[in-house]
């Protein structure tokens, strides 16, 4: 195990937070300073490398717009957002694992009736998604709001594609009193994280994969329960072991079964979500 | 001593750099990831705090312009630039201590004759600066280039003040064959780091002083020697113990002696600089 490297200079910087009015902010800043200095000492960072880091962070900040948060992307590819998820959403009592929200969520998608197709009549392989919403004791949760979003057959979310409507491949559904939910969509495709910004440049420089394995996003909320942000991944996707943002959990890999029904077309996904009581 | 906190997720992110083409970049990224995750776990960073951090870094990036590098300012107030200086300019053999360059250096100031006044005929208390440039064995270094810059009597650098010329309070001088140098200027005043950006907002939030004690900047270069970037601080300045960017070293605090000469006006600073051989 590596240890933090002490130094007089680090002590001096830490002491500068002695009069921080908010003790929590002071604790965060002093821990950050210790780790930042210790990182620099551990690798013996050169001036040129430090300046390259300054330039990268500047580019990341300048790439951000109201619809493109490149610092969240950086945080995600460094595994920081998933660290935060693990810290704040420990798996308790058999509840469904949480994973990251990601940058493509759009709030207030239309609320649709049970069994409806997500917005935009998207092209692709038809998919039926069914299951139950339960609490950790096995009680059905009715009237849960199931907010769904995904990339389409072309690997693009509506917010990335000017040819798609704002809420295409999105929808909100309610569970029945017996906890069951059901909606129709298309099988999502895997994709690469946006390849035009400084974060993708860093990924290429470091030999990392830009891929995210195919998945559906869920944000599930219900009265008396903690909200659950998660994905369901398509079993068999070739990129499950190299998700660029480290969101995959074994329990979130689900079988998309080919339909054996009348027309033999499309797939069915069955998945039950278990929420923690708040 | 705090130790790094291990985790399966951290191992997964570290392993993603296994195929990094440049081993040095891979070593930097994996150390960074370990410290970043360990910081988050140590303080149990919440989602709201993580998002506040993302927003702060975005603001810092968006505040940068070709003449204002707010990420260097952030790095400086966190003591990172001084950590880099300590790592890369260890004090060896009695050489003069290095300190940070800071954001106000402007290259290619006019070269002026020995004894000349720095550019711009600046108002303020007259100051004579004299001394020798030597190597660590005590040999005089002639023809050393002594690049000088400073804030004026109003605490502002020329690059901060539209009323000043580009090279005001700046100049480059040469040492004589016997190593001596001499120039005239005015006594520098202390100042606060720029108070309009996100870094100063963070400083105020955390109860830290924005002050830098009064100082002169030097960049000294000579054939066969390592370049020296340093400051000389005014002894007695009230902010020596709370420099916002942690640049003060005891050996760089110098006495600005009142002149006892004919007119009794002004001050004299005597300081010898010792360079390491390259």
CB contact under 8 A, A20 and B71: no
B36 and B88 inside one domain: no
Q: What is the CATH number of the domain that holds A93?
A: 2.60.130.10
Query: What percent of chain A lies above the pLDDT cut of 90?
Result: 87
Q: Which residues does chain B have within 8 Å of residue A57's beta carbon, measured at their own beta carbons? A: 57, 60-61, 71
Q: What is the pLDDT of residue B133?
A: 98
Q: Please give the residue range of the domain that contains residue B14.
A: 1-45
Residue B137 CB contacts under 8 Å (≥ 6 apart), including other chains: none
B41 and B100 inside one domain: no
Q: What is the DSSP string of A119-172?
A: TT---SSEEEEEEEEEETTS-B-TT-EEEEEE--TTS--GGG-TTS-TTTTEEE
A142 and A55 inside one domain: no
| Best residue of A44, A53, A205, A207 to probe chain B, by most B CBs closer than 10 Å | A207
Give a yes or no: residue A209 inside a domain. yes
Q: Are strands B145-150 and B170-174 parallel, antiparallel or unpaired?
A: antiparallel
Q: Which residues does chain B have within 8 Å of residue A1's beta carbon, measured at their own beta carbons? A: 3-4, 6
User: To 10 degrees, the CA torsion angle through A88, A92, A94, A100?
Assistant: 0
Give a yes or no: residue A34 inside a domain. yes
In angstroms, the CA B183 to CA A39 distance is 41
B140 and B236 inside one domain: yes
B94 and B23 inside one domain: no
Q: What is the pLDDT of residue B216?
A: 98
pLDDT per position as a tens digit, A198-249? 999 999 999 999 999 999 999 999 999 999 999 999 999 999 999 999 999 9
Searching chain A, which residue's CA lies closest to the CA of residue B249?
A9
CB contact under 8 A, B83 and A37: yes
Searching chain A, which residue's CA lies closest to the CA of residue B57?
A61
Give a yes or no: residue B217 inside a domain. yes
pLDDT at A1 over 50: no
Q: What is the pLDDT of residue B1?
A: 40
Lowest mean pLDDT among A87-96, A116-125, A224-233: A87-96
Give a yes or no: residue A90 inside a domain. yes
B15 shares contact with chain A (CB less than 8 Å):
no
A146 and A229 inside one domain: yes
A47 and A92 inside one domain: no
Q: Which residues does chain B have within 8 Å of residue A84's beta carbon, measured at their own beta carbons? A: 40, 45-47, 50
Searching chain B, which residue's CA lies closest to the CA of residue A204?
B20
**Positions in chain B whose pLDDT score sits under 50:** 1-2
- Which of A20, A61, A86 minimises the CB distance to B62? A61
> What's the pLDDT band for A42 if we cut at 50, 70, 90?
very high
Give a yes or no: residue B73 inside a domain. no
Query: What percent of chain A lies above the pLDDT cut of 70?
Result: 96
Which of these three, A16, A37, A67, is where a domain ends?
A: A67
pLDDT per position as a tens digit, B237-255? 999 999 999 999 999 999 9
Query: Please, what is the average pLDDT of chain A?
Result: 94
Residues 121-140 of B with CB under 8 A from A: none
Phi and psi, residue A233, nearest 5°: -95, 150
A63 and A139 inside one domain: no
- Sign of the Cα torsion B15, B16, B18, B23 reads negative
CB contact under 8 A, B86 and A7: yes
Structure-block tokens of residue B105: 């250096």
Residues 179-218 of B with CB under 8 A from A: 205-209
CB contact under 8 A, A64 and B61: yes
DSSP letter (8 states) at residue B21: S
Q: What is the pLDDT of residue A160?
A: 87
Give a yes or no: residue A76 inside a domain. no
pLDDT (average), residues A177-195: 96
How many Å lie between the alpha carbon of B230 and the closest alpha carbon of chain A? 15
B61 shares contact with chain A (CB less than 8 Å):
yes
How many Å lie between the alpha carbon of B46 and the closest alpha carbon of chain A? 7
pLDDT at A262 over 70: no
pLDDT per position as a tens digit, A128-160? 999 999 999 999 999 999 999 999 999 999 988
Give a yes or no: residue B9 inside a domain. yes
In angstroms, the CA A55 to CA B183 distance is 36
Query: Domain count of chain A?
Result: 2
pLDDT at A30 over 50: yes
Which of these three, A22, A39, A67, is where a domain ends?
A: A67
In angstroms, the CA B233 to CA B247 distance is 10
Searching chain A, which residue's CA lies closest to the CA of residue B87?
A44
B133 and B26 inside one domain: no
A63 and A182 inside one domain: no
| Best residue of B55, B61, B67, B88 to probe chain A, by most A CBs closer than 10 Å | B61
The complex's ipTM? 0.90
Q: What is the pLDDT of residue A103?
A: 82
Which of these three, A40, A67, A94, is where a domain ends?
A: A67
How many Å lie between the alpha carbon of A83 and the closest alpha carbon of chain B? 7
- pTM for this prediction: 0.89
A22 and A51 inside one domain: yes
A17 and A117 inside one domain: no
Q: What is the pLDDT of residue B261?
A: 60
Q: Is B220 helix (H, G, I), strand (E, B) or coil?
A: strand
Q: Is the distance from CB of A76 to CB of A245 less than 8 angstroms?
A: yes
- Sign of the Cα torsion A90, A94, A95, A99 reads positive
Q: Is residue B221 within a helix (H) or strand (E), and if so which, with residue range?
A: strand B215-221
Rounded alpha-carbon distances, angstroms, from residue B214 to B72, B161, B236, B247: 20, 17, 10, 11
How many Å lie between the alpha carbon of A252 and the closest alpha carbon of chain B? 16
Q: What is the pLDDT of residue A207?
A: 97
């Amino acid at each position: 195990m590596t240890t933090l490297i002490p130094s007089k200079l680090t002590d001096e910087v830490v002491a500068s937070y002695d009069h921080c009015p908010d003790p929590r902010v002071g604790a965060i800043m002093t821990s950050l300073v210790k780790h930042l200095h210790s990182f620099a000492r551990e690798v013996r960072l050169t001036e040129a490398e430090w300046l390259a880091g300054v330039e990268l962070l500047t580019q990341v900040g300048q790439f951000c717009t109201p619809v493109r948060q490149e610092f969240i992307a950086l945080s995600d590819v460094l595994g920081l957002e998933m660290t935060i998820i693990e810290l704040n959403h420990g798996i308790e009592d058999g509840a469904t694992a949480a994973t990251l929200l990601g940058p493509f969520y759009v709030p207030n998608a239309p609320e649709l009736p049970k069994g409806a197709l997500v917005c935009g009549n998207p092209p692709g392989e038809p998919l039926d998604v069914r299951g139950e919403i339960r609490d950790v004791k096995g009680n059905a949760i009715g009237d849960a709001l199931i907010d769904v979003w995904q990339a389409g057959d072309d690997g693009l979310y509506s917010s990335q594609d000017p040819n798609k409507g704002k809420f295409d491949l999105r929808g909100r559904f309610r569970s029945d009193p017996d906890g069951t939910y059901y909606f129709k969509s298309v099988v999502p495709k895997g994709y690469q994280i946006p390849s035009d910004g400084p974060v993708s440049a860093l990924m290429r420089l470091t030999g990392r994969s830009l891929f995210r394995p195919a998945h559906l996003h869920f944000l599930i909320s219900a009265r008396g329960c903690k909200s659950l942000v998660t994905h369901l991944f398509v079993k068999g996707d070739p990129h499950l072991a190299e998700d660029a943002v480290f969101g995959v959990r074994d329990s979130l890999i689900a079988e998309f079964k080919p339909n054996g029904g009348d027309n033999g077309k499309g797939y069915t996904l069955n998945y039950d979500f278990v929420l923690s009581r708040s």
